[in-house]
Amino acid sequence: MVGGFDIAIALSTTIRQIVQNLNIPPIPMVICTDSRSLYDCLVKLGTTNEKRLMIDIMSLRESYENREIQEIRWINGKDNPADACTKKTPNQALQKLVSTNHLTVKVEAFVDRLNKVQQPEDVAQSEKEGQGPDKA
């Protein structure tokens, strides 16, 4: 997760410079994970017994608090194209992304910074009201 975040920071910095020069609104950085335990550690101030992992979690949490990361989402594992890099099983999400250049992600939960952690039933309600995260 942190390796991907490091790359995202590098890309975000480059893109930020480009969009500033073109007077385009900034593009937010959204972190998606299909690991419920990691999501809980990041948004609910959870802990882990693994020291190395805790350092990574603290780094991500600090970036989130400093608004370098705009949003953290817990997504459905079947919708995670990155699983193709870590698992042997075929990945339909990656195949669809490559063939259609479009990705649909089911958001299981996210944090509304002004209110609370959103659960699946809250996400559906927010989307009806036009307040939820984009799904593509």
What does the pLDDT read at residue 23?
92
Please, where are the H alpha helices in the chain? Answer: 2-21, 36-43, 51-65, 92-100, 120-128
pLDDT in tens, 12-35: 889 989 999 999 888 888 888 888
Domain borders along the chain are: 2-75
Looking at the DSSP assignment, which residues form a beta bridge with residue 107? Answer: 75
Whole-model pTM?
Answer: 0.67
